[in-house]
């Protein structure tokens, strides 16, 4: 009974925040529902995709026709030249994309002005400052390096900052000699011990796990922090971005390959217990296996986090699409439940990614005594 009472305000806050979410996207949806059936469907999934995808500005809330956004810096490396802009340079006062210095943001992508998508591009070129260049969109995209501090990069920096603060603060307590855990330390210490004892030691081995602890701990907490940050209303969807999960999986991949012992490579190139005629087939399978591991890591994290966001937003969006208050109320309540499940998923995915990473590393560093 007591627990219920203490949880109630939290639930209320969560549902309020989720409602805030829906309000911030309402104009989008209303606009969509105004048009024809075909467009309506497209528009409603658009707002979800817009949330899932990266952005050049940090959109917090839309009240009526006022968009509350934080402009973010944009860095472009174009043919040996570094260019700095603010994302606000690319939008006019009505929040419509405009061309600036030869570039423009079209459908969430920075492209050369005049090379944009479809019908809007021609219109926008008129007020562009720079000259329009390539006609082919694919070509235009590839010929400069976009190092902008996008919403996801900003969120990445935020999570790095939060992690540094958290763990450097905790580390201070350990430096001052043996003492009982206190405060934030008591929250993280069991997790650290769990990763050490139940993930690293069991999968890598008692004598070799130490070297990989910094990697595994950083991995776990990075994913956990960003999964949870991703559930915060208005936040970016960093750990559900494939570039991020690919980068994380590649870390595991390279660490695994560089630490591969004789037994590991022997297992791949001359699998023990396999008759010679079958070996070429097994070799192909094993080599494919090396690469499926990082791919599965990449896709698992990306898919589960992105899917969670899509489910929550879809349920919230139902009320607006069906234009029904009842569906909206039920949908909001249901999305609260889904959000709670998402918190669980956030922890599980961080655990699973770390667990599989340590298993792959464990296979690589194994000496071959079975």
CA triplet 74, 78, 83: central angle to 5 degrees?
A: 40
Binding residue for another protein, selected from 130, 215, 290, 330, defined by CB under 8 A = 215
Q: How many CA atoms lie within 13 A of 49 on its CB side?
A: 8
247 binds another protein (CB under 8 A): yes
Is residue 128 a contact residue for another protein (CB under 8 A)?
no
Does position 1 interact with another protein (CB under 8 A)? The reply is no
CB 111 within 8 A of CB 144: no
Neighbours of 60 (CB within 10 A): 14
Q: Rounded to 10 degrees, what is the CA torsion of 56, 59, 63, 66?
A: -30
Single out the residue of 242, 327, 330, 343 in contact with another protein (rule: CB under 8 A).
Answer: 242
Residue in 18, 99, 199, 244 binding another protein, rule: CB under 8 A: 244
Among 312, 298, 362, which residue's Cα sits nearest to residue 342?
Answer: 312
Contact positions with another protein (CB under 8 A) in 37-56: 49, 52-54
Does the footprint of another protein cover residue 246 (CB under 8 A)? yes
Q: Is 82 one of the binding residues for another protein (CB under 8 A)?
A: no
CA dist., res. 76 & res. 83, Å (int): 5
Q: Which residues contact 121 (CB under 8 A, 6 or more apart)?
A: 106, 114, 115
Span near another protein by CB under 8 A; candidates 2-10, 116-124, 214-222, 353-361: 214-222
Among 2, 5, 94, 175, binds another protein (CB under 8 A): 175
Does residue number 300 form part of the binding site for another protein (CB under 8 A)? Answer: no
Backbone dihedral angles phi then psi of residue 74, each to the nearest 5 degrees? -120, 135
d(CA 22, CA 48): 11
Span of 25-33, 79-87, 89-97, 153-161 interacting with another protein by CB under 8 A: 153-161
Contact between 193 and another protein (CB under 8 A)?
A: yes
Q: Smaller CB distance to another protein: residue 170 or 318? A: 170
Question: Which pair of structure tokens corresponds to residue 242?
Answer: 């494939």
Q: Is 232 left (phi over 0), alpha (psi -120 to 50) or beta?
A: beta
Pick the piece of the chain touching another protein (CB under 8 A) from 8-16, 38-46, 128-136, 236-244.
Answer: 236-244
Q: What residue ranges bind another protein (CB under 8 A)? A: 49, 52-54, 108, 145-150, 152-153, 156-157, 160, 163-164, 167-168, 170-171, 173-175, 178-179, 189, 192-193, 196, 210, 213-215, 217-218, 222, 241-244, 246-248, 250-251, 306
């Amino acid at each position: 009974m007591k627990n219920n009472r203490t949880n109630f305000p939290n639930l209320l806050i969560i549902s309020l925040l989720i409602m805030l979410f829906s309000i911030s996207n309402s104009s989008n949806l209303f606009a969509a529902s105004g048009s024809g059936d075909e467009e309506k469907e497209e528009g409603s999934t658009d707002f979800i995709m817009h949330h899932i995808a990266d952005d050049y500005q940090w959109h917090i809330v839309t009240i009526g026709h006022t968009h509350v956004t934080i402009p973010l810096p944009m860095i472009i490396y174009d043919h040996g030249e570094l260019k700095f802009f603010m994302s606000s340079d690319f939008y006019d006062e009505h929040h419509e994309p405009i061309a600036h210095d030869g570039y423009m943001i079209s459908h969430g992508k920075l492209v050369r002005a005049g090379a944009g998508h479809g019908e809007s591009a021609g219109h926008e070129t008129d007020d562009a400052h720079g000259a329009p260049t390539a006609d082919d969109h694919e070509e235009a995209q590839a010929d400069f390096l976009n190092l902008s501090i996008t919403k996801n990069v900003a969120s990445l920096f935020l999570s790095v900052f939060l992690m540094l603060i958290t763990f450097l603060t905790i580390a201070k307590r350990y430096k001052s000699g043996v003492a009982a855990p206190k405060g934030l330390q008591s929250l993280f210490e069991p997790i650290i011990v769990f990763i050490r004892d139940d993930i690293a030691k069991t999968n890598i081995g008692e004598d070799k796990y130490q070297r990989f602890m910094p990697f595994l701990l950083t991995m776990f907490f990075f994913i956990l922090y960003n999964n949870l940050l991703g559930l915060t209303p208005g936040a970016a969807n960093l750990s559900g971005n494939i570039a991020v999960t690919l980068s994380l999986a590649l870390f595991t991949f390279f660490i695994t390959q560089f630490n591969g012992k004789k037994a590991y490579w022997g297992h791949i190139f001359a699998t023990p217990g396999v008759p010679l005629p079958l070996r070429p087939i097994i070799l192909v399978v094993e080599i494919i296996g090396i690469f499926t591991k990082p791919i599965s890591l990449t896709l698992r994290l990306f898919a589960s986090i992105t899917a969670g966001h899509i489910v929550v937003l879809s349920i919230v969006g139902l009320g607006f699409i069906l234009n029904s208050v009842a569906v909206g109320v039920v949908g909001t309540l249901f999305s609260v439940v889904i959000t709670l499940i998402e918190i669980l998923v956030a922890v599980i995915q961080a655990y699973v990614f770390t667990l599989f990473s340590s298993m792959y590393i464990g296979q690589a560093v194994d000496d071959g005594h079975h």
